Amino acid sequence: MKYKIGDVAKILGISPDLLRYYEKKGVVNPVKNKENDYRYYETRDTNFLIDCLFYKNFGFSIEETSDLVRNCSIEEISRRFGRNEKDLEAAIRHNQLLLRRSQEYRAAIARIPEHLGKCSFSRRPACIYYLNRRNQEFNTDPSMRRVTRQWLKYLPFSKRSFIVSQAELESPTPEENFQWGFSLSEEYAEILGARAEAPVLRIPAQQCVYTVFSSPDSSFSPRYLGYAMDFLRSQGLSLCGDAYGNLLISACEDGPLAITPGKSQITGYFEAWLPVSP
């Protein structure tokens, strides 16, 4: 039985372009009708194509699959599978880490209602951090750009983080000064090989007042932490360092706070730690 390229594509659920690629690589050799230049594939051709799909689903590239089907001995196929298993093991470890991070993220956003606008005492975990933006201006120095690109590779294990100076928070007339960048827990930093070498710094664990606040337009301002400073004073406590925090989530919401009535807005939710001393 002979089949046209479109028929084979439908039978195997692959594109005609992929069939042409495998033909170019010699995996299949359809017979061309000299009168209409149509390609006709035999059943044996589909067997080779199914072999290609078999290898492709192990993660081999299209180029590798065509080579495995047409050019490799049993011994060579076994060697290539051995090498590929190392990549599969690395992918499994990475996906397990992604699953863990996903669960952590869901747990963090599930706790937002519990802490929103409220203050409690909590020990801030140690982490390493990298700051590449002051207020609305990014640091565009070439060396800093290289570090930024490296930290973007740490996503989603890194968090988007901010620092507000103690002086800014204690000022009666704050000037909206703050810094933004990224942070990694010490555990993720070790797993990913990230080091606390300048301009990357380490924040030690410390007793803090913890809170979660929101911004209706997803903007950021130190003034949103005014209520937390009031809480410190009410407890007879003093700020003893800069405030650190993270963006928890930006989400689309409807309601009376929407900028345009009847339309959704992006609301940002942030967590913050304010270090304290009696």
Who's near 134: CB < 8 A, 6+ residues apart? 177, 178, 179
Asked if 109 contacts 248 with a C-beta cutoff of 8 angstroms, the reply is yes
Count CA atoms within 13 Å of residue 5 on its CB side. Answer: 18
pLDDT computed for residue 218 by the predictor: 67
pLDDT computed for residue 22 by the predictor: 87
Instruction: List the structure tokens of 66.
Output: 């065509």
pLDDT tens-digit series, residues 25-73: 888 888 877 777 788 888 888 888 999 999 999 999 999 999 999 899 9
pLDDT computed for residue 33 by the predictor: 75
pLDDT tens-digit series, residues 179-215: 999 999 999 999 999 999 999 999 999 999 999 999 8
CATH of span 2-71: 1.10.1660.10
pLDDT computed for residue 253 by the predictor: 73
Confidence of residue 115 (pLDDT cuts 50, 70, 90): very high
pTM over 0.75: yes
- The fold of the 111-277 domain, in CATH, is Multidrug-efflux Transporter 1 Regulator Bmrr; Chain A (3.20.80)
112 pLDDT higher than 90: yes
pLDDT computed for residue 261 by the predictor: 55
Mean pLDDT of 19-24: 88
Mean pLDDT of 130-152: 92
Confidence of residue 264 (pLDDT cuts 50, 70, 90): low
156 pLDDT higher than 80: yes
pLDDT tens-digit series, residues 245-259: 999 999 987 654 444
Decide the pairing of beta strands 119-124 and 137-138: unpaired
Closest CA to 157 of 74, 115, 98: 98
Asked if 47 contacts 56 with a C-beta cutoff of 8 angstroms, the reply is no
Q: What is the DSSP string of 151-186?
A: HHHTTTTSEEEEEE-HHHHH-SS-----EEEEEEEH
Q: Which amino acid is at 55?
A: Y
Which residue spans of the chain are classified as CATH 3.20.80.10?
111-277
Where would I find the beta strands (DSSP E) of the chain? Answer: 2-4, 31-32, 39-42, 119-124, 127-134, 137-138, 159-164, 179-185, 201-203, 206-215, 238-239, 243-253, 265-277
Mean pLDDT over each residue of the chain, to the nearest integer = 90
Point out which residues pair with 215 in neighbouring strands.
268
CA distance 211 to 246: 11
Which residue spans of the chain are classified as CATH 1.10.1660.10?
2-71
CA distance 4 to 32: 10
Give me the percent of the chain exceeding a pLDDT of 70. 96
CA distance 102 to 160: 16
Count CA atoms within 13 Å of residue 187 on its CB side. Answer: 5
pLDDT tens-digit series, residues 216-250: 876 888 889 999 999 999 999 999 999 999 999 99
